[in-house]
Structure 1
Amino acid sequence: MDKEVIIEKINDFLIDEFEVEGENISPEANLKETLELDSLDFVDLVVAVESNFGVKLIGEDFINVVTLQNFYDLIENKIKSL
């Protein structure tokens, strides 16, 4: 799966399932501050990633994830390591 498809899928479920405004979605967007995702949203995000990409995430995976670009990269690396 190429990076553009990963980004498109992530953006789609952020808009559809997390009700994130499309204009707030950019690679530089801070997940907590700009996209207003809280700790419960992160749990739901793990479930969404598993169902959309077939990869499992754990808490430690999010240590260096601050921006949406960090999240895109995390998912891309997880998929490549399958």
Structure 2
Amino acid sequence: MDKASIIEKINGFLVEEFEVDAEKITPEANLRETLELDSLDYIDLVVVIETNFGFKVKPEDFLTIATFQNFYDYVISKVSEKVTS
């Protein structure tokens, strides 16, 4: 799966699961503010990631994720690790 496909898939489930306008999802936008995430929403986000991409998410991984670009980079790196292992 290439980067563009991963980003497209991420944006698709964010729009569907978190009911956010696709136009608000830009690489530089703040993930937490745009999706209006609370602690329960983070759990939902983790479940959606694990279900869609097949890797385990550690809570501490989210400490460095501020923007959608950070989030894309995180998922892309985890998918790449999974493919190479």
Instruction: Provide the TM-score with structure 2 as the length reference.
Output: 0.90
SS across alignment from 2:32 = coil
Structure 1 equivalent of residue 13 of structure 2: 13
Distance of 2:35 and 2:18 partners within structure 1: 9
Larger radius of gyration: 2
Structure 2, unpaired ranges of 5+:
none
Q: CA deviation at 1:35?
A: 2.6
Which aligned runs of 4 or more in structure 1 are off by greater than 6 angstroms?
Answer: none
Q: Spell out the pairing of 1:1-82 with structure 2 (5 A cutoff).
A: 1-82=1-82
Q: State the AA in 1 paired with 2:13.
A: F
Q: Which has the higher helix share?
A: 2
Distance of 1:17 and 1:34 partners within structure 2: 13
Contact (CA 8 Å) 2:18, 2:35: kept in 1 or not? no
Structure 1, unpaired ranges of 5+:
none
Q: CA RMSD in A?
A: 0.9
Cα offsets for 1:31-63 (capped at 9, x unmatched): 112231222111101100111110110111111
Instruction: Provide the TM-score with structure 1 as the length reference.
Output: 0.94
Q: State the AA in 1 paired with 2:64.
A: N
Aligned residues: 82
